[in-house]
Amino acid sequence: MDPRYGPSSIGSPNPGPARPQMPTLPNGQPPWGQPLQAPPPPVNGHQFHNVRPSPVPMDSPNRNSPLMMGNAKDSAGHQPPLAGQPQPPLAGPPQPQFSGQPQQPMGFQPMTGPRPPTLPPGQHAPYPGQNSSPALGGPPRPPQSLGGPHVRMPPFAGSTSPQGPPQTNAGPPSNTPFYNMHAPNPPISSPVAPQMPPPSSQVPPQPTSAPTFSQLQQRPPAGNQIPAPMANRYPPQPQQVQSPAYQRVFPQPTTQSMDGLTSQMGSMSVTQQGFNRLWGNNMESYDLLQNRNILPPTKIEAPSINLQHAFVDAQNCSPEIFRCTLTKIPETKSLLDKSRLPLGILIHPFKDLSQLPVIQCNTIVRCRACRTYINPFVYFIDHRRWKCNICFRVNELPDEFQYDPVSKTYGEPSRRPEVKSATIEFIAPSEYMVRPPQPAVYLFVLEVSRAAIETGYLKLVCDILLAELDNLPGDSRTHVGFITYDSSVHFYELVEDAQKPHMMVVGDIDEIFLPCPANLLVNLHEATDLVRELLMDLPNKFQGNPEPSSALGAALQASYKLMSSTGGRVTVFQVTLPGLGPGALQARSSGGAKDASPLLSPAIDFYKRLALECSASQIAVDLFLLNSQFADLATISGIARFSGGCIHHFPDFHVASKLHEEQLERCFRRYLTRKIGFEAVMRVRCTRGLGIHTFHGNFFVRSTDLLSLPNVSPDSGFGMQLAIEENLNDLQNVCLQAALLYTSSKGERRIRVHTMCLPIASNINDVIVSADQQCIVGLLTKMAVDRSQASSLSDAREAFINVAVDVLSTFKATQNMGGPSGLMAPHSLRLLPLYIVALLRHPAFRASSNVRIDDRVYAMCQFKSLPLGALMQSVFPDLYPLHCLTDEGALEIEGKVIPQPPRLQLSAEKFDSKGLFLIDTGDNLIMYVLRHINPALCRVLLGAPSFEAIPDVMYELPVLDNLDSERLRAFVTYLQEIKPYQPSIQIIREDSKYRSRFLQYLLEDRSESSLSYYEFLQHLKTQVK
């Protein structure tokens, strides 16, 4: 494990997928000693042994089977071509290089040939980039220290360091950011390679007059003084805001001899520049202090993955499903460490897709060794054999694979859908099942204490259930059941021949039991009338209930006993702090202390242990929390997080609030009707040399790389951190494949497969250019949640700042930017400091006593489980002007014209005092009406003659018969419909008491406890070395 990136969720490492064979050195020893015998990864708790047999036999690689562990070339050195493609030449022209770029950034391999001549003492053989002969190859140059002793830092807690057994249950140092605790700088093997600064966390304190970060926060707001812009040297890109600070920066050539200069000048050519532009290798840079308006006006697209050679035309997995923090993988671990960038993947495996190829066949083609599914990035040796792109074993193709179901022809396996699409779904044949697929089973557990009834939620939930009962995913075998609880647990017998439901009360909550197991779960289609009658009667049955306490733990135990034989989904509505029976809790704190790190961890492990039992029985628990007082979400959320469930939070909920009622209604309707997968498992495989060491999300790790997901939904995302365990310099590409096996609501066993292929980077510039800044932010937030819970919130905040310092320092050193220049950032990471400012002000990490503990914990839970798109919308909302909507650049969807106003920086500087603005946070749409709004605009859009006539807050747009109103409603409806949970809209006046709902999202302006974006950049300038 890379020690920079902190511990796993619990603090122990997670070994990556096992590989059949460890490569050895010439003396017969493996490169790092014997492989560590690590226990199964406890990322989501200890290994659970009494596990219910999986419905699908998950094949693992046969360690005794012969494997081809070499590179993807045959014995003659040829690259296996795709079917129907000509054989590539034996050797191609060498890859052109910029002068000043090291050929082998982190040390080079000895060259073969005659023994090199003996050199005088202190003299070394030429290095790459010099005018040298192959005969002068020799052993690698000894490691060089960068301005200090070559010291190896101790491994971080939870890391899998090759120097010894992994540390377990060891907390990280309280003053060490999790992003920067890594090994020392690697040796430099080229005299022209720029020296890299050590991580900011390792630099000893230097006497300086620069203010600290905490001192800057105490300063008054800075004025509008902006340094004078630099001269415009190169024209900006069309999509960027034209600014004098935009410039193109190339590595500066550094030579020590005329031969070196001649060699470097020869490498700079039109062909070199064209190649770099073609493959996205142009090192554009921005001075962040000069160019503050760097947010593009349109949506930020994911960086493209540029594959070379055989796969240049292959279709890669959609970035909305599968995404890596780097679109080029460094060829060595030392090169990754040099970049100071995290390596990991984010996956949205069950995303709703409009087009998904579905294959039904007798034989699913998989590698016999590693069990990889055939995909677009395998090598076809001929029409009968293919080479796996994960372990490189040669496999036979079945005769059935020769038939193309689309063209209905034979003999061309490369035309099969499996090798044409990187995302595909198989209907599993009978050998993938050890028992019939489970039916859809839904159990609703509802709190009916006095406080819960007073909120009015029970009637709203029952009304929604009545309306959506026929839309629940399932088939003729669908079962439902209901449990209510206060200080006791209530069961409902729904006998088919009975005229009305029969309630049974169990008061012994310490020894809970099922009074009548046979009729508590009933077939929905056979007992529809009884279910409807129960839902209509429940709100009145508990009206005026005096019981103040809640026995949540007993109700969950009863749910487990009831569903352990079938599996399914449990939906829990909780309002108060559970105070009775198993899992009873005490109020630890109801405030939001500035450093409340102890309250971010669970008080007891009852809910986690019960969740593991539920996961073993294929039961997922989803939690809806509607509390107005402290409910200790940090503890009770364990029942959802470790069982593969989800969490929804509605603080201060009361049905009298139209906003609250609308939010719960839209969320619960989507929850009931969305697609669902039962008894699922997911495995991620990666090319040899890569390993997975930490997982993020709501699941339980059943084995080293197998995630148990009793339920999987389209709204769940997962993250994994990767490690480079072996050098990848003998490969051109690496592949990652995620396979999700699940039972559909119709009772079909299906396998959804996603495959992503990434090229290899051999120099630091390629790594920096390939960075995916949004994916990096998505992974950092998940890692920061772990750091907050394992160490402290302040450590996580400091780690965010150190990420920006390290990235900008690395770029400055890599580009040889000496002297007091501006704060330069590469194009690929230009928004990273802005996103870090937004993270520091997010409720999950904000250093403020105004954030309640349950609100903070919920935000952290969302960061761990949200897909990347929703996560980024939460971190950095979109701000739109609504007073200038036109049809220019509009979208046309199903005959409707949807205006597309430009996105603005999140700052009041962008406000027009006569305008109207909208912030889209993902969960809410907040419209802000400025005091001096044009009366004509106010009349045509809001139906009010003036600003004073607008209500203090509105929750819907008026329907007016004019073109401007139609455009506004079309745009707002579009923003709502593109999200899984449609957000509600609020219209707030500038002088309203609710205006803070809008103003809190102006993240680039200074607040009481946070620096402005420009002040933060000034602080970074003092730290970047």
Strand partners, 929: 916, 989
Q: Which residue carries 């230097």 as its tokens?
A: 206
High-pLDDT (> 70) share of the chain, %:
71
Label residue 265 by pLDDT band (50, 70, 90): very low
Instruction: Give the separation between CA 617 and CA 421, rounded to whole angstroms.
Output: 34
Alpha helices, H only, 456-527? 457-468
How far, in whole angstroms, is CA 121 from its chain's centroid? 53
Given phi > 0 = left and psi -120 to 50 = alpha, else beta, which region is 361? beta
Handedness of CA 292, 298, 303, 306 (dihedral sign): negative
Each residue's pLDDT tens digit, 601-640: 999 999 999 999 999 999 999 999 999 999 999 999 999 9
3-state SS, one letter per residue, for 614-651: HHHCCEEEEEEECCCCCCCHHHHCHHHHCCCCCEEECC
Q: Angle at CA 729, nearest 5°, toward 119 and 257?
A: 35
Q: Inform me whether the pLDDT recorded for 514 exceeds 90.
A: yes
Our CA angle for 344, 73, 276, nearest 5°, is 55
How many Cα atoms sit within 13 Å of 358 on the Cβ side?
8
Q: How crowded is residue 776: how many other Cβ atoms within 10 Å of its Cβ?
A: 24
DSSP-derived secondary structure letter, 872: H
- pLDDT confidence band for 310 (50 / 70 / 90): low
Token look-up 């677009």 returns 376
For residues 113-134, average pLDDT: 40
Query: CA 389, CA 376: separation in Å to the nearest integer?
Result: 10
**According to the model, what pLDDT value does residue 818 have?**
62
Q: Is residue 374 over pLDDT 60? A: yes
Which residue would you say has higher pLDDT here, 546 or 151?
Answer: 546
* pLDDT at residue number 271: 40
How is residue 334 written in tokens? 């030392």
Bridge partners, residue 246, by sequence: 286
What is the torsion angle, in degrees rounded to the nearest 10, for the CA atoms of residue 364, residue 368, residue 371 and residue 372? -80
Mapped onto helix, strand or coil, the DSSP state of residue 346 is strand
Indicate whether 450 pLDDT > 90.
yes
In angstroms, the Cα distances linking 317 to 16, 303, 703 are 22, 13, 26
Burial code (b: 16+ CB inside 10 Å, e: under 16) for 878-905 equals bbbbbbebeeeebeeeeeeebbbbebbb
Q: What's the confidence (pLDDT) of residue 315?
A: 83
Which of 292 and 1003 is assigned the larger pLDDT?
Answer: 1003
pLDDT for 123 equals 45
| Mean pLDDT rounded to a whole number for the chain | 78
pLDDT reading at 399 higher than 70:
yes
Average pLDDT (973-986) is 94
Amino acid at 136: L
Question: Could you give the residue ranges of the DSSP H alpha helices within 922-962?
Answer: 935-942
Percent of the chain past pLDDT 90, that is, above it, reads 60
Contact present, 642 and 608 (Cβ < 8 Å):
yes
Interval 97-106 mean pLDDT:
38
Q: Band of the pLDDT at 282, cuts 50, 70, 90?
A: low
Q: What is the DSSP string of 557-619?
A: HHHHHHHTTT-EEEEEEE-S---SSTT------SS--TT-GGGGS-S-SHHHHHHHHHHHTTE
Report whether pLDDT(104) > 50: no
Q: Which residue has the higher pLDDT, 268 or 804?
A: 804
pLDDT in tens, 917-964: 999 999 999 999 999 999 999 999 999 999 999 998 899 999 999 999
Q: Which residue has the tokens 């597309």?
A: 900
Answer whether 967's CB lies under 8 Å from 885's CB: yes
Whole-number Cα distances in Å, 289 to 57, 283, 768, 773, 907: 57, 18, 20, 19, 16
Task: Give the model's pLDDT for residue 495.
Answer: 85
What whole-number distance in Å separates Cα of residue 420 and Cα of residue 341? 32
Distances (CA, A) of 976 to 471, 920, 923, 972: 21, 9, 10, 6
> Which helix (H) or strand (E) is 984 found in, with range?
strand 984-989
Q: Are 99 and 267 in contact (CB under 8 A)?
A: yes
Token pair, residue 243, equals 């600014």
Nearest alpha-carbon partner for 955 in 665, 748, 703, 739: 665
Tokens of 151: 């010291």
Residue 982: the pLDDT is: 92
Among 88-92, 702-706, 1001-1005, 1011-1015, which is the least confidently predicted range? 88-92
Element (H, E) at 658: helix 658-673
Q: What is the DSSP string of 53-112?
A: PPSS------TTS----S-S--TTSPPPPPTTSPPPPS--PPPP--TT--SSTT--PPPP
Is the pLDDT assigned to residue 109 strictly greater than 50?
Answer: no
Phi, then psi, of 385 in degrees rounded to 5: -135, 150
